[in-house]
Structure 1
Amino acid sequence: MNQNNSSSSSNPCPICLHSINQEAYLDRCFHKFCYDCIAHWSQWVASQSRNSNSSLQCPLCKVENFSIIHGCDGDSFQQHYINQDLERGFSFSEAHRYRLQCYYGEPVVIDDKFNVLRYWKCHKYLQPNQWLQSWLRREIQALVQEEDVDIIVHHILGVVESFLRRNERECFKCSPEQKREEFRALVSDAAGRFVLGKTDRFVNEMELFLASGLNIEAYDEVYMQCLGLRTSGATGSPTEGIHDQTPQLPYLDLFGEDIDGSD
């Protein structure tokens, strides 16, 4: 067994809990993470704070750090300062913040509202979803924190459309369970290189949205009711409750402290 792979597996990223992809370190405590994970974590913490902080508490030890170091090759490295280089010119909407909370918080149990198994057993997956492209754009924007995600969205849509065309002719050759497994594997492969440690969660969320049969506004309203968040009414835009409630992230529960470090 390769020693590096073994070491990576035994010391996973504390955020995504997968093998570390693109090693990154915080500059004071030197705890190691996937670069995208700690960068996204920094953005998420900034979105929850009323002030623009130039430092970031390590999610493991709570030490204040001022930059993220990555791209170390023995001769050089790259350094991104908190809330400076990580700003990418994309202004998060309240809807983006709410969806990011969904991915970094505990999974919401809404199977009683959206029956995923029935979606597959009744072959509803063969019906194209006219809202999927817009939903995908918002989800990918929230996860990768970039505005221009058209290439990623079209790539995932192409995989889904190819799956649908193939199964229009062959839908009875395999069981619904096999079709579901094939779909999840295809979407996971298509999205995994972009959403990394959130791949499984992304596939679950996409499956829930498709099984709901709802447009984005109606889906958000149901989802936020399950989260205990409030909407702004008919539009379903999450305008209240986003900043009032901090989701309990699994890897922060270990410390019992809030992200601002206040007592």
Structure 2
Amino acid sequence: MESIGTCPICLTDISAADEAFIEPCLHHFCFRCLQAWVRTQQNQASPVTCPVCKTPFNSIIYDCHDVAYRVWSIDDAPTSTGKHLDNRFGLTSEQRRRRSRYSAPCNQVEEEQVSAVEKGNTLESRHFEEVFVTLKALSRPAVAQWLIRELQALLLQEDVDLLAHHIVGNLKHGIEASVLEKKRLKKLRPGRLEGDKAVEVVAAAMVPYFPEYGKKLGQEFVEFIISGLNIDAHDAVVFRIKEEEAEEEEGIG
């Protein structure tokens, strides 16, 4: 199948039969990826924007043959209100619990991580510029599962696989770029991406959806990746402090 470039959303080859362009910026993507992107963005308050340059757009050019083409208006795309989404996709108790993490300020999350160390738990308080994300750590199956669960909790919808793939793909691209840079500088280190840069990558990918939660998601994601824990074990560590504090408050009362 003929390839005419790489889709910035799914990071795979764009087939000629599935090529689509955003009007007016003319960045090209897989048509199916753009449709999924539009559906996801339409469920948010912000306007639909290009994944590459963030230009707002209302139509997609596709099915191009020489000078002939078709236009897909995003006004024709099915939309869902937040209420509808919540009824259609019910959060699990774990997702509701995780969602509450994002309603707390960043400094509160960091204080809880410091408290975890003081109480002897395995979750350490880390400075993100001092830790690294590697391809090996990013390739653990639990990493994609954790991210999908998190995005579902934040966006209140089930179909988040494309966005999760986009975030992980961008992180892998960052690691691969780091490898090339180290080779250029003749530094023989394994491919890895600094934690603070990984947080920035995740935050940038979340801008069209929940920009206010992008940094927090990045921090939580990096913490999970470098922890090496499975989802249940990580949840147990993260929420143990809150449970212990609640028990202490009940004892005082």
Q: TM-score, normalised by structure 1?
A: 0.49
Count residues in correspondence.
Answer: 153
1:182 maps to a residue whose letter is K
Tell me the residue number matched to 2:6.
none
**Partner residue, 2:113:** 110
Could you say which structure has the larger radius of gyration?
A: 2
Map of 1:207 onto structure 2 = 222
Q: Secondary structure at the match of 2:89?
A: coil
Partner of 2:97: 98
Secondary structure at 1:193's aligned position in 2?
coil
Deviations 1:181-220 (A, max 9, x none): 4322222111221222211211121122123221111100
Name the amino acid aligned to 1:223: V
Q: Deviations over 1:203-260 (max 9, x none)?
A: 1211221232211111000011022279xxxxxxxxxx9xxx9xxxxxxxxxxxxxxx
Cα distance change on mapping 1:204 and 1:122 into 2, 3 Å: closer
| Structure in which a larger fraction of residues adopt strand | 2
Query: What runs of 5+ residues in structure 2 fail to find an aligned partner?
Result: 1-40, 47-78, 118-122, 188-192
Instruction: Give, as a single letter, the amino acid of the residue that structure 2 aligns with 1:163.
Output: G
Contact 1:133 1:153 in 2 (8 A): yes
Residue 50 (structure 1) aligns with:
none
Using the size of structure 2 for normalisation, the TM-score is 0.50
Aligned to 1:160: 171
Label 1:128 to 1:86 Cα distance change in 2 as closer, same or farther (>3 A): closer
Q: Which has the higher helix share?
A: 2
Larger relative contact order, structure 1 or 2 (CA cutoff 8 Å, min sep 6):
1
Distance 1:110 1:141 in 2: 24
Unmatched segments (≥5 aa) in structure 1: 1-21, 23-33, 37-77, 231-240, 246-263
Q: CA RMSD in A?
A: 3.6
Q: What is the percentage of aligned positions where both structures have the same residue?
A: 24
Letter in 1 for 2:145: S
For 1:96, give the aligned amino acid: Q
Q: Deviations over 1:107-166 (max 9, x none)?
A: 33214323434x764645453331210111001000000001011111001101111222
How big is each residue's C-alpha offset from its partner over 1:10-53, in whole Å with a ceiling of 9 and x where there is no partner? xxxxxxxxxxxx9xxxxxxxxxxx848xxxxxxxxxxxxxxxxx
Counterpart Cα distance in 1 of 2:210 and 2:223: 18
